[in-house]
Amino acid sequence: MRSLAGIALVVLASRVPAAEQVTFPLVVDYPLLGAMLARQLDQDAEGTALLWGTRGGCRELTLRGPHFQPAPPRVRFLAHGKARVGFRFLGLCIAPVSWEGQLETLASPTVGDDWRLRLADLDSQVYDGEGWRTFLASRLWGVVKGRVEAQFADFAIDLAPPVAEAKALIGACVKPARAQPVLRALDTLRPISTAVNDEGIEVKVAMQLPPSDAAPAQPEPGLAPPELARWQAALENWDGFLVFVIKDLGALEADRQVRDDLFRLLMSSRQRLLAGLASGPEAGADPIRELFLESWTDLRRIVRQAAMHGALRDRALRYLAFMTAGDALAALDAAGPALGLEISADGLRRLARVLEPDYAGDPLEYSEGLDPELRELFHFNDPAVIVPEEPREPPPSTSWPWWLAPRAAVAASPPSDELAALSARLDRWVPTNEELEAYRDAVARLLAIVAERTASVNAVEGRFESVYRVLVSTTAWQESCWRQFVERDGKVTYLLSKSGDIGIMQVNRRVWRGLFQIDRLEWDIAYNAGAGAEILAQLFNRYGAREASGRPENAARAAYAAYNGGPDAYRRYRLSKVSRTERAIDRAFWEKFQAMAAGRGLDLVLCIENWSSPSRSRLSTAPSASTPKCRMSARSSSATLTISSRHASSASRPRASLV
């Protein structure tokens, strides 16, 4: 697929200081072309279209699975065909001749001033099941060829609606001071040529731009607090838009790979949004322009993939309009300040409603509430299923700490749920020095139960179960030193980083919004642990398992890299070119994982030197010179002695100043 960078080069190459013509491609992808032809041929539910005769009659020709291929300068149409030709006599089909094979049609695509894409200069042939031209097939084709080709000749795609949507979107994205010149320029849009390439049929569209403004741009003033709030809202609008489009497309496409790609797109975009919040606004810059340009190519590719699976069906034209409008905006954005484009909230709303014209709500709505559709789309399980809603009283005391009791002993004291009781015991508990060992053991048991249940619910492969359990405990160590609650200003509250990472698993409220209940992430340690374990299981199954290659622990390293940096980062732990900060984070995790797997991690998981500081809510980001001073039995080793000095947690992530 042509990248947006390539489009930008084409546009920039055409720029001159005065009034100029800018061109951009309107591409009708082959999957979309095939979907539209199938719709015009009126395929049945099984994907078969009747081109001639009557279904099940003495004379019929049916086609199945039409698709297009490039054959420059023409386009090739291929379909599996079946035909039967005979004579009806006294209710019987006399001397029927049957054929089954492949139909091939070559055609030249053309677009006129009416914006209708047609197929001209048709040349059709039929072949048998082995791809040979036979006498029987040729004779049979001679009977029906004219009638079939007439149907193909009548096929046309009206590109006027997609072009109108592109014009409306560009008009909505232009700065008010530049509106009139740009609207006049949009009236000059016209097709100038048609070509066939590997991606589809490309219609080159031209537009006459207004003269460039040679005056140098003046520096933008700093943003006042209300403008900062609008800047943050613009980023949230983008996330709302992307969720809307992803749910719309995901509802059509059940293919797992397409849904995995949508998940990766959403999570990667949210990681970039988080980085944007951390870096802050840039005066005069469109806050969502880069997010749009970075995501558009991936979104376009996913739409093509869905079209190949036939998912778009009768909505193919809507998606063509959607992609045309987005392509036009991306291409014309490269024309620079002559147009003064700004990808506004109104522009995103207009683009979203290309897909759902009758949608009654706001397609850019941003909410931290639970989104059942999003959870179902990506097959996320509710931690509340794993973690009971209402904790019960713990079982009666015994000679050993009940949370370390053997499974048989715990099971013998129903009806209490062990996890619920642990959650109740740990609720708002910031341990004193004398309570550290009891606190550690309770958290260890809670994480073990959560990991076991989450692995079962998510069908983590048996060969990875032990690795996954260690991954959950190690991630809680890496992210929070096993803390859910801290003291701040003399009051107990939940652990919260400046970038919005919450609790023991540091689940980010922006990245994972819609998939989990924010209030329970904040105040329920078992729910927070369950949410983090659920995320790890999803990342483990999607990305970690493929990294194992004989070393199961690599699956954990990949899953954590994705947990920390987003799905695009899952290979980060083994790449040579990564930032120093990311390298330190991955190294710290790996050392912790090895210590935990070897049974040497429990001495260090609480990072005690940080708990003893005046502000217990602060995560350590600076190296420490000594091993944590734990009031527990020491199991010092070369593996554990270096962990404290290399501790890196989610506090090393980019910080958002407006969370």
Annotate 508-537 with DSSP letters as a single string: ETTTTBTTB-HHHHHH-HHHHHHHHHHHHH
Q: Check pLDDT > 60 for residue 388.
A: no
Q: Domain range spanning residue 170? A: 4-19+160-176+228-377
Could you tell me which residue, 400 or 134, shows the higher pLDDT? Answer: 134
Q: Which of 75, 122, 74, 130 is nearest to 102 (CA)?
A: 130
Question: How much is the mean pLDDT over the chain?
Answer: 78
pLDDT of residue 25: 79
194: in domain: no
Domain endpoint, select from 97, 130, 158: 158
Domain endpoint, select from 342, 377, 412: 377
- CA 398 to chain centroid, in Å, comes to 49
Rounded to 10°, the helix 418-426/436-457 angle is 140
415 and 556 part of one domain: yes
Q: Check pLDDT > 90 for residue 217.
A: no
Q: Check pLDDT > 80 for residue 370.
A: yes
Q: Check pLDDT > 50 for residue 393.
A: no
296: in domain: yes
Q: Find the mean pLDDT for residues 631-636.
A: 33
Helices of type H across 52-178: 135-154, 160-172
212: in domain: no
pLDDT of residue 403: 43
Q: Check pLDDT > 90 for residue 484.
A: yes
pLDDT of residue 439: 94
418 and 557 part of one domain: yes
Instruction: State pLDDT tens for residues 250-306.
Output: 888 778 888 999 999 999 999 988 888 877 777 666 778 788 888 888 888 888 888
371 and 453 part of one domain: no
314: in domain: yes
pLDDT of residue 338: 60
Q: Check pLDDT > 70 for residue 653.
A: no
446 and 298 part of one domain: no
Contacts of 584 by beta carbon, 8 Å cutoff, 6+ apart: 646, 648, 652
Could you tell me which residue, 477 or 132, shows the higher pLDDT? Answer: 477
12 and 100 part of one domain: no
pLDDT of residue 636: 35
Joined tokens for residue 4:
């947006």
Q: Which of 315, 289, 172, 158 is nearest to 235 (CA)?
A: 289
Q: Check pLDDT > 90 for residue 593.
A: yes
Q: Check pLDDT > 70 for residue 9.
A: no
pLDDT of residue 417: 83
Could you tell me which residue, 652 or 63, shows the higher pLDDT? Answer: 63
Q: Check pLDDT > 70 for residue 215.
A: no
14 and 54 part of one domain: no
369 and 396 part of one domain: no
Report the distance separating Cα 449 and Cα 57, nearest Å: 64
What Å distances lie between residue 333 and 170, 174, 321, 609, CA to CA?
A: 9, 10, 18, 52
Contacts of 439 by beta carbon, 8 Å cutoff, 6+ apart: 426, 429, 431, 606
Count helices and strands (H / E) in the chain. Answer: 22, 13
Report the distance separating Cα 344 and Cα 237, nearest Å: 9
pLDDT of residue 95: 63
387 and 301 part of one domain: no
Q: Check pLDDT > 80 for residue 241.
A: yes
Report the distance separating Cα 320 and Cα 36, nearest Å: 10
Q: Amino acid identity of 490?
A: G
Q: Check pLDDT > 90 for residue 639.
A: no
**pTM strictly above 0.85:** no
Position 521 confidence tier, pLDDT thresholds 50, 70, 90 = very high
List of E strands, 171-214: 190-196, 200-209
List of E strands, 427-550: 485-488, 491-494, 501-502, 507-508
303 and 274 part of one domain: yes
Where do we find the tokens 């040497």? 600
472 and 598 part of one domain: yes
8-22, 425-439, 628-642 — which one is most confidently predicted on average? 425-439
pLDDT of residue 348: 87
In this structure, what DSSP letter does residue 620 have?
P
pLDDT of residue 635: 33
Q: Check pLDDT > 80 for residue 419.
A: yes
Q: Amino acid identity of 360?
A: A
Domain endpoint, select from 130, 158, 186: 158
Report the distance separating Cα 552 and Cα 68, nearest Å: 43
Contacts of 402 by beta carbon, 8 Å cutoff, 6+ apart: 394, 395, 396, 410, 421
pLDDT of residue 284: 64
Q: Check pLDDT > 90 for residue 31.
A: no
Q: Check pLDDT > 80 for residue 20.
A: no
Report the distance separating Cα 268 and Cα 69, nearest Å: 32
What Å distances lie between residue 347 and 11, 51, 301, CA to CA?
A: 21, 42, 22
Q: Check pLDDT > 60 for residue 508.
A: yes
- CA 260 to chain centroid, in Å, comes to 7
C-beta of residue 374 within 8 angstroms of C-beta of residue 514: yes
pLDDT of residue 279: 74
Position 335 confidence tier, pLDDT thresholds 50, 70, 90 = low
The strand pairing partners of 62, in sequence order, are: 50, 82
Instruction: State pLDDT tens for residues 84-109.
Output: 877 777 777 776 777 888 888 899 99
3-state class (DSSP) for residue 191: strand
Could you tell me which residue, 462 or 230, shows the higher pLDDT? Answer: 462
Instruction: Count the residues in the chain.
Output: 659
Q: Is the peptide bond before 226 cis (omega within 30 degrees of 0)?
A: no
Report the distance separating Cα 503 and Cα 485, nearest Å: 7
Could you tell me which residue, 312 or 478, shows the higher pLDDT? Answer: 478
C-beta of residue 520 within 8 angstroms of C-beta of residue 384: yes
What Å distances lie between residue 620 and 24, 108, 179, 592, CA to CA?
A: 51, 66, 52, 15
Q: Find the mean pLDDT for residues 561-586.
A: 91
Q: Check pLDDT > 60 for residue 641.
A: no
Q: Find the mean pLDDT for residues 151-174.
A: 84
- Tell me which of 135-139, 429-433, 565-569, 603-607 is least confident: 135-139
Helices of type H across 395-435: 407-411, 418-426
In this structure, what DSSP letter does residue 363 have?
T
133-142, 160-169, 308-317, 524-533 — which one is most confidently predicted on average? 524-533
566 and 607 part of one domain: yes
Count of domains for the chain: 3
525: in domain: yes
* Planar angle of CA 588, 590, 591, nearest 5 degrees: 65
C-beta of residue 340 within 8 angstroms of C-beta of residue 177: yes
C-beta of residue 1 within 8 angstroms of C-beta of residue 297: yes
The number of C-alpha atoms within 13 Å of 254 and in the hemisphere containing its C-beta is: 0
Report the distance separating Cα 317 and Cα 432, nearest Å: 64
430: in domain: yes
Percent of the chain whose pLDDT exceeds 90: 29
402: in domain: yes
451 and 421 part of one domain: yes
Q: Using CB atoms within 10 A of its CB, is residue 462 exposed (0-12), middle (13-18) or buried (19+)?
A: exposed
In this structure, what DSSP letter does residue 649 have?
-
What Å distances lie between residue 281 and 43, 227, 340, CA to CA?
A: 51, 10, 19
151: in domain: yes
- Give the DSSP per-residue string, 551-582: -HHHHHHHHHHHHHH-GGGTTGGG-SS--HHH
Distance between start and end Cα atoms, the chain: 37
* Residue 142 belongs to domain with CATH number: 3.15.10
Percent of the chain whose pLDDT exceeds 70: 80
